[in-house]
Structure 1
Amino acid sequence: MQVLNRPWGAMHYRIDGPADGPPVVFANSLGTDLRLWDALLAEMPGIRAVRFDKRGHGLSDEGGDFSIDDLADDAAALIEHLALGPVVFVGLSIGGMIAQALAARRPDLVRAAVLSNTAVRMGTTQSWGDRIAAVETGGIDAIADTIMERWFAPAFRATPVLAAWRNMVARTSVPGYVGACRALATTDLSLTTRLLDLPVLVIAGDQDGSSPSDLVLATAELIPGATFHIVRDAGHLPCVEQPAAFAAILKPFLQEHAR
């Protein structure tokens, strides 16, 4: 088990793949830990995959109040600690916002970015405030079923494995989950993301109830030269529901930009 000590506490991370493989860093969504990428990485032999649990998620410490920029700084510290940069950075949902912020703040550390099921702004101040209130009143378990409906296509929700994903969300630290919601409520990256000057791949799911494909496309259209793909029969976590299809989109991008 690997941990990077940050001023706010311990950040858990994991490295898989050959030491000489191209470095690719993965950032998770709200309410998930680094296991989010397990199925995808099984389709991606040969890369040097670095995954981490952001503050208040997985095995990392909670980390107090934080912003998206703070989370980007944590990712930068990990890349520098491992002497990996520049890397391809793959982020999903809030992880995609971390990717956008990191590429804007530290272009020296990111050679290319993959933005999955994300946007420059996600939700509204009111919608995040309502979610925070619900969690503080009834815990994450009270909204876990609604999250599953937003995240996954009906076919996936009918499988036994859905229970494991529900458990992952419900067992997330409440302070960590609420802290991430507060960070999302106050973040609009449109001014900096439109200025990004690096290769960017943007991916959406056609059945995503959290970040609909039109929202994701609007972010892709802000970025000069960005390419956009939709994964069919997938919701908010296409790397979970359709890992082979996700890998088929990601592999050519890595072949072109990861070295």
Structure 2
Amino acid sequence: MQAVSRNGRILNTAFRPARGAAPVLVFSNSLGTDFRIWDDLLARLPDDWGLLRYDTAGHGLSPGGPGMSIDDHGDDLVALLDTYGIEKAVIVGLSVGGLIAQSVAIRHGERVAGLVLSNTGMKIGTPEIWNGRAEAIRAGGMNAIGDATMERWFSRAFREGRPAELLRWRTMLVHTPADSYIALGSAIRDADYRDRAGRISVPTLCIAGSEDSATPPETLRALAAAIPGATCEEIVGVGHLPCIEVPDRVADMVGTLVERVTE
């Protein structure tokens, strides 16, 4: 792991340079998680690919910053590209990471070779949802949203069949600082790319989970329809975090997108 200074903050990263002409992929994680959610997926990707993971500000080992918008988080990602000398990358964004990826692709398209937008949307949720969740956290702490979040994150089969793993991810969630979770949730609440997604001009794959109630398949289909040339694939029987539930399947999808980028 490596720490990168950014506007007086530290971003916790893990970087493996590409070998030869292999592509570089950057992974932007979801709300309430850190970059460990990608571990099983990255273990299934080619050894010569460059891989950059980082903890979003306020999550994992990256301290937060005041009043950050999704575009501010996108600027963090671009700063990491600059730090590691990455001219162009495929960005893999999950949930809010997908919003961050859209922000970068819209405002810094020259730095983006392709996009994998997993379980995200042009707009996620409603103000009522995000404000209500913030109120619940302020009243009862992160534990107050733990069980409901697990129901969004994972399919019933995962929750019932892999209880030890479920507890691991629930622990990650509830250890997220409440103020950081609320801040990033507010940024999600205020982000809306419905009038700008059409500006994205790189190969794009959208991934949906059939049991994802946070960003259901129709949300991903709408996103793919808005981005010229984008495709959408639905994974049956998974929830909001397919990189954890079915890393083999997601690795295959990422590989297919990279082939489009490099052909």
When the two structures are superposed, what TM-score results if normalisation uses the length of structure 1? 0.97
Does the CA-based 8 Å contact 2:99-2:120 persist in structure 1? yes
Q: 1:45 offset after TM fit, Å?
A: 2.3
Q: 1:73 offset after TM fit, Å?
A: 0.3
Give 1:44's aligned amino acid. Answer: L
141, 164, 171: which one aligns with 1:167: 171
Q: 1:16 offset after TM fit, Å?
A: 3.3
In 2, Cα distance between equivalents of 1:256 and 1:149: 34
6-15 or 23-32, which moves further after superposition? 6-15
1:140 paired to 2:130 = no
Structure 1 residues 155 and 130, CA gap change in structure 2 (3 angstroms): same
Give 1:7's aligned amino acid. Answer: N
Give 1:15's aligned amino acid. Answer: F
Give 1:4's aligned amino acid. Answer: V
In 2, Cα distance between equivalents of 1:235 and 1:8: 36
In 2, Cα distance between equivalents of 1:52 and 1:231: 25
In 1, Cα distance between equivalents of 2:139 and 2:8: 26
Counterparts of 1:102-121 in structure 2, within 5 Å, are: 102-121=104-123
In 2, Cα distance between equivalents of 1:174 and 1:23: 33
Alignment correspondent of 2:248? 244
Give 2:44's aligned amino acid. Answer: E
In 2, Cα distance between equivalents of 1:83 and 1:250: 23
SS in 2 for 1:115: strand
Alignment correspondent of 2:183? 179
Give 2:51's aligned amino acid. Answer: A
SS in 2 for 1:256: helix
Alignment correspondent of 2:70? 68
Q: 1:76 offset after TM fit, Å?
A: 0.4
Alignment correspondent of 1:217? 221
> Number of paired residues?
259
1:28 paired to 2:29 = yes
In 1, Cα distance between equivalents of 2:107 and 2:18: 29
In 2, Cα distance between equivalents of 1:17 and 1:197: 26
In 1, Cα distance between equivalents of 2:262 and 2:125: 32
In 2, Cα distance between equivalents of 1:192 and 1:90: 19
1:39 paired to 2:40 = yes
SS in 2 for 1:190: coil
Alignment correspondent of 2:129? 127
Deviation by residue 1:80-124 (Cα, 9 ceiling, x = unmatched):
111112100010000000000000010111111110000000001
Query: RMSD over aligned Cα, in angstroms?
Result: 1.2
Counterparts of 1:198-217 in structure 2, within 5 Å, are: 198-217=202-221
In structure 2, runs of 5+ residues without a counterpart are none
1:7 paired to 2:7 = yes
Percent sequence identity is 39
In 2, Cα distance between equivalents of 1:117 and 1:229: 11
Does the CA-based 8 Å contact 1:88-1:111 persist in structure 2? yes
Deviation by residue 1:47-87 (Cα, 9 ceiling, x = unmatched):
21100011100000121221000000000000111111210
When the two structures are superposed, what TM-score results if normalisation uses the length of structure 2? 0.95
Give 1:66's aligned amino acid. Answer: M
Does the CA-based 8 Å contact 2:18-2:24 persist in structure 1? no
In 2, Cα distance between equivalents of 1:239 and 1:85: 26
Alignment correspondent of 1:229? 233
In 2, Cα distance between equivalents of 1:205 and 1:242: 10
1:254 paired to 2:255 = no
In 2, Cα distance between equivalents of 1:52 and 1:7: 16
90, 93, 109: which one aligns with 1:91: 93
In 1, Cα distance between equivalents of 2:17 and 2:191: 34
Where in structure 1 do 4 or more consecutive aligned residues deviate above 4 Å? none
Does the CA-based 8 Å contact 2:45-2:251 persist in structure 1? yes
Q: 1:22 offset after TM fit, Å?
A: 1.6
Give 1:52's aligned amino acid. Answer: Y
